A and B are shown apart, each in its own frame.
Chain A
Amino acid sequence: MEIRAHMVSAGKAEGEAVVYNGPFAFLGDLSPVTGRICMPRHRLEGQSLVNKVFVFTTGKGSSGCDFAAWATKKNGNAPAAIIYHVECRLMRTETGPWQKA
């Protein structure tokens, strides 16, 4: 399958795809400590996103998601790449180049 998308952050990545048809938040849905989906009763509960290519609809939730994303990456538990298809303010700042400030 080929997905063409607007680029937020340049780079090359490879990984198994994890596809979720719904919104996603770095704060609350994903444990920065394990890199696994930690939201109870989430369809992907327990699924690891570490080094995966994560495809979902859009971002959601807390304005603290930016730092939750950063903590996940710092811990080495971030997905290899993320692709989403409805524009999201936070997701763009979470994954944009200025995250590397």
Chain B
Amino acid sequence: MLLIDEEKRMLGGEYCPGIQRSMDLLVKLGDSFDAERMVPISYGHISYDFCPEEFWDLMTEGVPPTPHRVTTHPSNSPEIWKKYGLPLADNWIGEHDRKLKRYKELGWLRTETCAEYLLGIIPRKGDIVSMGGSCMQVANNSLFGAKVDRMGILVSLAAAVCGRTPLMGLLLPENRFANHLVELDDLDVTNWTMTHYHCLGYYIGDQVPGFKPVVVNGLPPGLPFDFARALVISMPTSGSVTLAHIVGTTPEAPTLEAAMGNNRSEQVIRVGKREMKETWERLNVWEDDTVEHVAFGCPHTTIDEIGRIAALLEGETIKTTLLIGASVPVEALARRQGWADIIEKAGGLFLPACPSIANPFTRADIAGDKQAKSAATNSARSAHYIASVGGVKVFFGTEEECVNAAITGRWKGEMPKWK
């Protein structure tokens, strides 16, 4: 790779071991993928709690506060888990506190969310951003037209430390045209909810080998934000799609032709009633109808979602535990609206952290003998990770079905009538 003098100094160890190691990693990555040079990032996004302390310490050793903005993914919340009465919460405090202390020394922002765009941290079209978190990678790429390459959390930390990333993959305009075309076969989407879009995205992700861009054709133009987001963020759960164009909705896809450029599609993925039904069934992994936990907020809820959940919970008392994953500012707005009070009065809890991979109620290594044995969710991503990482039974259905499950402790969700 061609390095400028500043990058050579970083690599040569003139600053500190953390910057040297980070630059070394970025150069190896770039060389490995034939990147020509490094490019500066507009900002970086990392995850300190998904990064084991051994690596965190190595990559941040001696690093001074960075001139560029860095934000973070949801972290662990052992103090909050303790308040929930979860017996193994204490085990997580030491490492979390040490990493958080270092994080703050670096002058980085405690956004602690997988949906930063809801906080006004929105990349402009064409901005180069390095980030961990496959769900915000695909959202920022697809919904805002930012340039984000697929990378793991360690690489995103190295890029945040150095303020640059190798010029490769989805940062290159020619790689942003769709290679895979999705066509909907006589699916009537008129009454679809967010959950239906989660299901569609999960199916598409599974069908696409690799991370070349996808274009989805045939949806109503100007798809509401919650729907478009649900569709794209589900893809890198079952697969690794990191840029998904939606014709008539996303910025790089005013038309099918614009989204595909001169590419001929390598593959046409047709989705009809059968595919939707099979995916919906696949996401439901349960035997009896007892629901012990309900999880919303994967990715972190928008204010509109919270409003809908509050309307469904008004005056009710729930039988299960119920978590709403939301960033602190969005929760604050919900509080102003009076919605947070309604939800909490019913028995719901706000968690400014991850309600899926790190859901404290479904993880045996956090909840111990209080682990919920079954959970309902309206998110395919959440269903996927609660079933696999948590190892508990999962019900996948609409917002309304999940709220009903919280109130009754029973699952009455039904397979949608695909039209």
Q: Which residues of A contact B (CB under 8 A)?
A: 23, 27-29, 38-41, 57-67, 70-71, 86-90, 92-94, 96-98, 101
Pair B209/A58 contact, Cβ less than 8 Å: yes
A69: nearest residue on chain B (CB-CB)? B152
B403 within 8 Å of A (CB atoms): no
| Complex Cα spacing A60 to B242, Å | 10
| Complex Cα spacing A20 to B238, Å | 15
| Complex Cα spacing A29 to B58, Å | 28
| Complex Cα spacing A70 to B25, Å | 16
* Residues of chain B within 8 A of A58, CB atoms compared: 209-210, 240
* Residues of chain A within 8 A of B149, CB atoms compared: 89
Closest chain B CB from A10 CB (angstroms) = 13
Pair B385/A67 contact, Cβ less than 8 Å: no
B123 within 8 Å of A (CB atoms): no
**Residues 141-169 of chain B: 1 if any A CB is under 8 Å from the residue's CB, otherwise 0?**
00000000111111110000000000001
Partner pick for A64 among B33, B50, B211, B391, CB 8 A cutoff: B50
Pair A67/B150 contact, Cβ less than 8 Å: no
Pair A93/B357 contact, Cβ less than 8 Å: no
Q: Which of B134, B206, B357 is most buried by chain A, counting CB atoms within 10 A of its CB?
A: B134
Q: A28-B388, A63-B152, A67-B154 are in contact. List 9 more A-B contacts (CB 8 A).
A: A28-B389, A57-B209, A64-B47, A64-B50, A66-B152, A66-B155, A90-B152, A96-B32, A101-B25
Pair B238/A93 contact, Cβ less than 8 Å: no
**Residues 26-61 of chain B: 1 if any A CB is under 8 Å from the residue's CB, otherwise 0?**
001100110000000000000100111001001000
* Residues of chain A within 8 A of B210, CB atoms compared: 58, 86-88
Pair A89/B28 contact, Cβ less than 8 Å: no
Pair B134/A63 contact, Cβ less than 8 Å: yes
Q: Which residues of B contact A (CB under 8 A)?
A: 21, 24-25, 28-29, 32-33, 47, 50-52, 55, 58, 132-134, 137, 149-156, 169, 205-206, 209-211, 236-240, 282, 285, 357, 384-385, 387-389, 391
Closest chain A CB from B311 CB (angstroms) = 32
Closest chain B CB from A22 CB (angstroms) = 8
B27: nearest residue on chain A (CB-CB)? A98
Pair B154/A89 contact, Cβ less than 8 Å: no
* Residues of chain A within 8 A of B50, CB atoms compared: 64, 67
Closest chain B CB from A58 CB (angstroms) = 5
Pair A23/B239 contact, Cβ less than 8 Å: yes
* Listed A/B pairs (16) with beta-carbon separation below 8 Å: A23-B238, A23-B239, A38-B388, A40-B387, A61-B240, A62-B236, A63-B47, A64-B132, A64-B357, A66-B152, A67-B51, A89-B33, A93-B151, A96-B32, A98-B24, A101-B25
B154: nearest residue on chain A (CB-CB)? A66
B387: nearest residue on chain A (CB-CB)? A40
B393: nearest residue on chain A (CB-CB)? A40
Given A63-B132, A87-B210: A101 and B152 interface contact (C-beta under 8 Å) = no
A94: nearest residue on chain B (CB-CB)? B152
| Complex Cα spacing A64 to B358, Å | 12
Pair B211/A88 contact, Cβ less than 8 Å: yes
Closest chain B CB from A76 CB (angstroms) = 16
Q: Which of B52, B209, B236, B238 is most buried by chain A, counting CB atoms within 10 A of its CB?
A: B209
Pair B133/A40 contact, Cβ less than 8 Å: no
B47: nearest residue on chain A (CB-CB)? A64
| Complex Cα spacing A92 to B239, Å | 16
Q: Which of A27, A86, A89 is most buried by chain B, counting CB atoms within 10 A of its CB?
A: A89
Closest chain A CB from B403 CB (angstroms) = 24
* Residues of chain B within 8 A of A98, CB atoms compared: 24-25, 28-29
